[in-house]
Amino acid sequence: MADFAGRVVILTGATGGFGKVAARYFADAGASLVLNDLHVEPLEALAAELSGNVRTIAGDISDPELSERLVEVALTEFGRLDVAVNNAGIVHDMAPLPKTPVDVARRIIDVDLMGVFYAMRAQLPAFEQRFRDTGETGAIVNVASVAGVVGAPMLSVYSAAKHGVVGLTKSAALEYARRGVRVNALCPSFARTPMAEDFLDKAGKNRDAAEASLVQAIPMRRLAEVDEVMAGLIFLADPASSFVTGQTLQIDGGLSAA
């Protein structure tokens, strides 16, 4: 287990499949946490089961003021910010591009792309200021998707948003490489999260066929397990990965190797 004792972590999308596991890992590793998700009750329930210092702020990541508040809480409550995991995201139903509703497309872009932009816009100056003051560095991990590095038929807008996240990640990494901030993107394929399970459950009796369809392009022919994805997230967040920036870490069973 990487050591995050004494470190402060912002984590969005904290009550989702990846978020819960990440929150538990960081808490067990000694970090203080500032957790965000859309609804108060699941956030408070998660915080109650975690060890250590935890603060929660419910709200929509597509609101730029929320990201400012998360950074403010980290600095005022804990006095520092070491890691930001921009994990909040949504996906639209599978459909050909012309049949994707405009309002759905806008919501995907607002949450999955603009949400990451707002987050980094608030986080980067805080990281840079501490580096100037103390020489200490920080890390941002943007949870993108393998759909951000390859095309994703029937998920065109989601793919476009995640490609945007990768672009933001690489650009910010170049801007801040000498300003004390590492910025990387985690790019998993479909994993066995509640989001994926919900999609499969909608298939009803065709659930097995739906899962086979999801994994048909993955050489390993299976979904990722959440812990497998978390290993990559922790690697990117770990201070020991001090020369790793501007990268997209694909955890995809070989999908992007083709």
Show which residues are catalytic: 158
Q: Tokens 């990768």 map to which residue?
A: 166
**Beta strands at 54-58 and 83-86: parallel, antiparallel or unpaired:** unpaired
User: What single letter denotes the amino acid at residue 151?
Assistant: G
**DSSP state, residue 237:** H
Q: Of 107, 104, 103, 66, which is closest to residue 86 (Cα–Cα)? A: 66
Amino acid at 25: Y
Q: How far is CA 253 from CA 3, 63, 68, 70, 213, in A?
A: 27, 34, 36, 34, 15
**Rounded distance between C-alpha atoms, residue 136 and residue 142, angstroms:** 20
Q: Rounded CA gap, 243 and 184, in Å?
A: 11
Q: Which helix (H) or strand (E) holds 249?
A: strand 248-251
